[in-house]
């Protein structure tokens, strides 16, 4: 009889293990929930703001450490005042000397490249002298080298991008009009960037012909500035976009 009572007392003394196991299970569930909420927060941030002073570039589509020049670009492009004060520095970071095509010097690049503000973000404006031969929409090797450097920057961003083609008001010499020429050029830039493994859903294309000049078409310099491709990098993402 004593032995039976001792066995019952032993079983009763082990009851705390059940409570302990339940506690550990609850704690594990709690930490898993915290982890899942943290992941959701990161997705939410990438939806709301791909480029912000607090979080920087959201690089969910990229792997590895962000290059130093792109980190500097991130800091400059979040502040419009800095963009205007350090436009030359931004140009140098976008297109360093070691990526300039053979035969192209820094002064030629600076003359044909502009960084512009836009209500939806900021624009990289490249004249056709950097990208295309007169009347052509086929990218030469020099134009591809410049766009390859830009593609490296876009790789570390998730921003939506619009590529728009523009011309001067002079009649074209070929079979296409200014609207078609601006469309073909914008499309050539789009195809090149997508072929660099950038996500196609990020991009859209516009063609304006001579409808949106930057300069006065009455002068040769003005017409040269108006023959351009603008790459608008949007700083606010649309609702329902891809991640």
Domain residue ranges in the chain: 2-48, 68-234
Give the contacts of 42 (CB within 8 A, at least 6 positions apart): 60
Q: Is the pLDDT of residue 47 over 70?
A: no
- Among residues of the chain, what percentage have pLDDT more than 90? 45
Chain centre distance of CA 67: 14
The chain-wide mean pLDDT, for the chain, equals 81
**In the chain, how many H helices and how many E strands?**
10, 5
Q: What's the mean pLDDT in 190-199?
A: 95
pLDDT score of 15: 66
Cβ contact 160:178 at 8 Å: no
pLDDT score of 49: 44
Q: What is the DSSP letter of 214?
A: S
Please tell me the pTM assigned to this model.
Answer: 0.71
Cα–Cα dist 130/109, whole Å = 7
pLDDT single digits (tens) 83-103: 777 888 888 888 988 889 998
Q: Is the pLDDT of residue 133 over 80?
A: yes
Domain 68-234 top-level CATH class: alpha beta
């Amino acid at each position: 009889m004593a032995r039976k009572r001792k066995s019952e007392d032993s079983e009763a003394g082990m009851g705390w293990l059940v409570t302990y196991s339940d506690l550990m299970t609850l704690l594990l569930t709690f930490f898993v929930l915290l982890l899942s909420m943290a992941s959701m927060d990161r997705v939410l941030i990438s939806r709301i703001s791909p480029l912000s002073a607090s979080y920087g570039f959201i690089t969910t589509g990229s792997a590895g450490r962000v290059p130093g020049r792109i980190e500097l670009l991130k800091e400059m492009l979040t502040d419009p005042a800095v963009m205007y004060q350090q436009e030359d520095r931004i140009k140098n970071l976008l297109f360093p000397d070691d990526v300039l095509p053979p035969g192209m010097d820094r002064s030629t690049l600076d003359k044909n490249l502009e960084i512009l503000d836009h209500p939806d973000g900021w624009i990289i404006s490249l004249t056709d002298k950097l990208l295309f031969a007169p009347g052509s929409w086929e990218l030469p090797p020099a134009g591809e080298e410049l766009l390859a450097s830009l593609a490296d920057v876009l790789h570390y961003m998730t921003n939506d991008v619009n590529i728009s083609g523009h011309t001067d008001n002079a009649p074209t010499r070929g079979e296409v009009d200014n609207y078609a020429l601006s469309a073909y050029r914008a499309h050539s830039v789009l195809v090149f960037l997508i072929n660099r493994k950038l996500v196609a859903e990020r991009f859209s294309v516009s063609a304006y012909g001579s409808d949106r000049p930057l300069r006065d078409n009455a002068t040769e310099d003005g017409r040269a500035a108006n023959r351009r491709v603008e790459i608008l990098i949007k700083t606010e993402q649309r609702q329902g976009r891809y991640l």
